[in-house]
Every structure is written in structure tokens, then in C-alpha cells.
A and B are shown apart, each in its own frame.
Chain A
Amino acid sequence: MRSSTEAWLGAARDTGHLVAFRARTVRRRRASAFGLAVALVLTLTFAVAPNGLDLEALGSPAVEHALASVRGNLGAAFAGFLLLAISSAMGSGGGRELLSRSEAAVHPISPLTEHLGALLLAPVNLAWLVQVWGLLAVTALVAPSGGLAGAQVVVLAWVLAATALGQAAGWAVEGVRRSPHGVLVVRSVGGAVAVVLAALHLAGLLGPLVRSLPTTWIAETAQTPDWPLVVVVLLALTVVAVVAGARPAAWALGLPPREELRVQSGVHEARHAPEPRWGSPDRALLRRLDRASVWRSVGMRRGLMVLGLGPGLVALVAGLEWSSVMVLPGLTASGAALLFGVNAWCLDGKGMVWRETLPVSAAAVFDVRALVVAECMAVVSGVTVVLALLRNGLPPLVVGVAVASCWLVVVVQVLAIVMTWSVRSPYGVDLSSPRATPAPHAAMAGYAGRLSLVTTLTALLFTGLSAVPWAWVPAVAALPFLAWSTRRLVRARRRWLVGDERARVVLTVAAV
């Protein structure tokens, strides 16, 4: 029998082999290296640049108030990162997989290796990336110049610890979900937690409670000369969480994935063919099939629900103002696109060849798929905006126009980008498991980085425009964005209509 140390060393070696295997399949090595360099430069910029800003010198009471609020809620932001790590791991069925289930089935891959692989892949997640950058930027903003390096080391140590803790919690929840009545238990507990949080918020107790968490001590001590102590504690916590996470991982992976199996053998009674009042019945039928492919997937359904409610609830509970809310629709739309939109044709899997033999115009197929991708993005980002509306009430006209314009722009922007990627770089993937991703991990990291950058910059522009006194300005500013994205979308559509290009996409996605 192998000792525990041998098991861990073996798992680490296997993880290395799997990572090397995946690395060898990276198609565009230069682009990947460039993307990685950009991500590192951005991380460094967020970690350092805000520290040089002397906002107090502006003498603006509003800015000073905002700065004090950021300083007072840094611990809450740290706690928010832990919440994100847990919900990400929960949403992805315990954690991402280095090899798809069908590929991995023939190899002796242990749950420990799966656990380490999921930990390594946790950063390949738009929300994770954005939150890390946010934490670094906020810490740089409030930390004293002399203590910046120490504070940022603490942030990185917290990121490691929270990711490992989140992973362990994610496996535990997945284990419960895979047990008899587990789905019901997870949903009930999730609902109860949401109700308790809402009640605490309404009673005005949530803020003080979050501020009394140990994360506030971490955030405050990080800015003092005692920061090495925090780093040591956090690194020890990381090791404990990684080791402890192996147990729920082994438990969860040893159980049958009940929800997926139920969905895979799900019965859907026949419905009459749609007869829309306007538009073509063919397109309506294609749309119904595409929508079903999205909502009958455990991973996509879960992801869309988390993306729809998560950021909106944060806006609701944390009391984000419209200027902060503006960035959320772009990020949630990007998150929705990352569920399948970046490789939109993978929705059909191997059925793509059969779909291509149907006597329907290629233009109709493209239009319907683009519409379904856009619907998913609009719905999840729309929920965020509606929840923010509940929190903040109706905004002033210019802010309202800016929010609506920004929302429309980012949805069209992301749609144009992901449909271009879908035609240009298709991948054959099996999305039957919620742990699967629609593209290889290196590509997903690149997609996540680019979408978050583009949508955040767009949101920042509209945030600035919401401060002007003329309500028409944001609407007019949206026009060039919409024109450019529409042009890009039309170009992707034109490429799809070329028979050779379409055949390449079809054969790649169907992996034949």
C-alpha cells in the first residue's frame, strides 16, 4: 500500500504529465505566450499603479468618502473573493478538468490528480481573474507606499488560501449533490443561505457581520509591519485546505454524477412545431433546438443561474452604486459567453454533421445560433441590471441612458467577438460534464482576459459619460461601438457562409 506522501508525489507527477500533454496541444504558442505576458503586465499594473494616485490631494469630499468606504470594506472584499472561489468550484461540479471525462476514462487518473488539476485550473475563470485584479488594485489604493509590497504578498497568499478553501468546499458540495436527494439538499441549503443573508441585510446586520470576519484582520494587518505573520498563517491554511480538499474530492468523484445522468436520460414529451406570429417557422424550430441544447446542459444551466444571480445579489447586498454597477453587465455577459459562446457550434457536438445535412440556409443557422448566444448574455446581464435597479431605484436620466447604452454595447460587442472566434477557432468538445470547458484551457484563459479587458474598458468609458450633463451623449457614444461590432458580426457571418470554411468548422466541432 502506498504511503500518503507517495500518493501526493504520484498525483503531482501525473498532474505534471497532464499539464504537459495539454501544453503540447496549444495551437498558437506565440499568441498564448503574448497573452500570458499581457496578463502578467496587467496584474503588475493593478498591483502597483493605483498606489501612486494621491486621491486625497484632490480635496473632493466624494472621493474621500469613496476612499474611506474602500478602506473600511477591504476585509469584506477579501471575504467576497472566498465566496467567489466557493461558488466557482460549486458551479463547475467541483472544479475544472485537465482531460475531459471521455478522454480521461482510459487512463489511471486518481481523484488526487483531479483535485490538483482543478486547483491549477481555478484561475482559468473570468470572475477569478477580475476579482484578483480588483483586490490588488484596491489594496494598492489604500496601502501606504512603504507597505505596498507586503500588502500585495498578503493578497496573493489570501488568493491561494481562498482558492484552496473554495476548491475543498466545491468538492464537498459536489459530493452532497451526487448523493441521493443531494440536488434537493444543495438547492434548499443554497436558498436558505440566500434568505438568511437577505434577512441580515434588511436588518442592517450583514455589513457589521462581514466586517467582523477574520478577513478584516487580514486586510488590516497586511498594511502593517506584521504582514509576514499573516503570510505564514495563510500559507499554512493553504496547505491544510489543499490536503483536506483531497478527501471530499475522492468522495465526490467516487459517486455517480446523478444530476448529469438524470439530464442525459431526461424525457421531454413531444411538442407541436412552433408557429410564430412573425418570422420563419424553420428558424423558430432551430431556435427551440438550440435553446434546449443550452438549458438541458447541467453546466450551462448552472453557470447561467450563478452568473445571473451572483453579481446582481452582490450589487444588491453590497449596495453598489450605478457607477460601480456599470461594469457588471459586461462581465456577466462575458461569463455567459464563456460557458459556450466562445465556441458556439460545440452546442451540437458530433451532431454538427447531421445538422449540416439539413436543407436549411447556412445564414439561418448562423443567425439563430447568434441569437441564442445573445439571449443568454442579455438575460444574465439583464438580471444584474434589474437587481441593481431594485437596490438603487431609478437612476437620473443621464445615468439610465448610460447604463442602457453600456449594456447594449457590451452584449453586441461580446456577441461579435465570440461569433468571430467560433468560426475562426472551433474546437471539438464534449460539454456533457459541468467540469468541461468549451475550449482548451489556454484558449479559455485568453478569451477570459480579452473579454474582461474589452468590456471593462467600455464600461469605464460609459461610467465617465454618465457624469456629463447631457443625456444624449452616452446614446450617441454607443453608435460607433455598435457599428464596429455589427461590422465584425457580419464579417463572421460572411465567413461562415463560405462552404469550405463551414466544412472546416463542422468537421472540427464534430471531431471527424
Chain B
Amino acid sequence: MTQTPAVAVRGLHVRFGDVEAVAGVDLTAEAGQATALLGRNGAGKSTTMKVLAGVVPPTAGEVTVAGHDAATDALGVKRSVGYCPDVGGLVPRATPWEHLQLSARLRRMPDWEERGRDLLERFELGDVAHRVVGGFSHGMSRRLSVVLAALHEPAVLLLDEPFDGVDPLGVDATLEVVADARARGACVLLSTHLRDLALEACGEAVVLRGGNRVAAMRAGELTGEAYRALLD
């Protein structure tokens, strides 16, 4: 018996007016695995992630996330997914704790405080748990976005540029979150420009170029030369 992939994307197209941000991406990602999504700026990585998070509906193609069709059941997708967006992702005048509280309550998590506190401590945000995030540095915001994505132990964890501007301790904490998610059987998709970190965190790699998938392979096979060749 074959297991249904946690994320299955076939022929995904996303158009914004005249611009085709994603032009026929195919992608599968299994539960218990971490897959790196690599590519240059404008390759369609972040848009694909937004579709998988239920934020942007697909223009065409089939997208299934944890068994939910992204086109018809966006709410089901949102319940199953934890998403760290590529930019910002925080309500400027709310505190980290208020972000966590809202996310937990809407996902019907009865005892979330302890896990919330633990995650904030792991990402060194415990001291600023009740401070408005508008004054946070870029790195602090990125770390909090990862915490929010991981809080409810989602079946599918989507991390879009989680290492961007983050210090080494934050990088370690993020790698730990990815490892934990894999260990409990979640599917992790991690989009980044940083090949080395992608290889450290993920077992599989998918390379996008111009809105298309150009390669899918074991992460270990993606050498620096091979990666550069795929980007050109």
C-alpha cells in the first residue's frame, strides 16, 4: 500500500494579473521528511509556500496539503499547517504572547502555555514575551515567526526563509524545530537561498527556476556546482 504524500502539488499555476508567479510546479513531500525548496529570487518559492499555507488560492493545478484541497478547503489547510512567511508575518502592535494565544485558541489547543513558553525560551524570546513586536529587530521577528509556525505541532511545517537575518543561536533553534517536526512524523518544507543550511536541515531538495521545478533529488546530491548549474 502506498502512503499519500503530505504535500502533493501537480501543475500548479499562480497568476497575479499578467504576471505568472508559478508556472506549472509539480512537487511531493512525504510525512516525516524535510524537503528544501531552493531557487533564485523570483523562482516562485514563496508563492508556492503561500499556496500551501492557504493564503493564496491556486490559479490552476491540484494542491493537496495533509489531505485537504487548497482550492476548496483553505480552512482545513490552515488547521494542518504551520507557516513562517518570508517577510514580516507579525501584527505590529501585538505582543508575542498575544500572537501565540490567538493561534492556539483558534486551533483549539487547551494547554498551550507551557509549550509556548518553552518555544519562546528556546528562541531566546522569553524576556520579550509581553513586549509589542513593532520594536523587534528583523532577526527577532524571524525567530518569533518560526515559533508561531511550530506552536501547534502541525502536520505540515512550512518555513520560508527562516534563517534570513537570524543569529547562529536562532539558526540552531530553527534546525532543532525542523528535527523535532521530522521526528514526530510531520512534513517539513523549507525554502531558502542558503544551500548549506538547507542541506543540513533537509533530506530532499527541489530546485525551482522561473516558476518551474527544474530538479528534485536527495539533498546530499546537490553539490555547489550542481546547484549553480541548475540556477543558470
Contact = CB atoms under 8 A, between A and B. Distances in A.
A285 B103 CA distance: 10
A408 to B, nearest CB: 30
B135 interface: yes
B148 A507 contact: no
A511 to B, nearest CB: 8
B87 interface: yes
A282 interface: yes
A353 interface: yes
Interface in B128-171: 129-132, 134-135, 145, 148
A301 to B, nearest CB: 11
Contact of A265 (B54, B74, B97, B131): B131
A507 B145 CA distance: 17
B88 A357 contact: no
Interface residues of A, number: 43
Contacts of A504: 16
A356 to B, nearest CB: 5
Interface string A349-375: 111011111111100000000000000
A500 B94 CA distance: 27
A293 B98 CA distance: 11
Contact of B98 (A292, A354, A431, A500): A292
Contacts of B129: 270
Contact of B78 (A286, A297, A357, A499): A357
Given A286-B102, A358-B102, A351 B132 contact: no
B57 A263 contact: no
Contacts, number: 127
Contacts of A289: 91, 94, 98, 102
A88 B98 CA distance: 33
Contact of B75 (A261, A361, A503): A361
Given A349-B88, A503-B57, A270 B130 contact: yes
Helix, strand, loop or mixed for chain A's interface? helix
Given A357-B54, A358-B102, A360-B106, A265 B85 contact: no
Interface residues of B, number: 42
B35 interface: no
B91 A264 contact: no
B105 interface: yes
B79 A432 contact: no
Contacts of A507: 16, 50, 56
B191 to A, nearest CB: 13
Contacts of B57: 499-500, 503
21 contacts: A261-B135, A265-B131, A267-B95, A267-B131, A267-B132, A270-B101, A281-B105, A292-B93, A296-B93, A350-B90, A350-B92, A351-B88, A351-B90, A354-B83, A357-B81, A357-B83, A504-B16, A507-B16, A511-B87, A512-B46, A512-B87
Interface of B: 16, 46, 50, 53-57, 74-75, 78-79, 81, 83, 85-95, 97-99, 101-103, 105-107, 129-132, 134-135, 145, 148
Given A285-B105, A353-B87, A506-B55, 11 more contacts: A261-B135, A264-B132, A264-B134, A267-B130, A270-B130, A289-B94, A349-B91, A350-B88, A351-B94, A357-B81, A358-B102
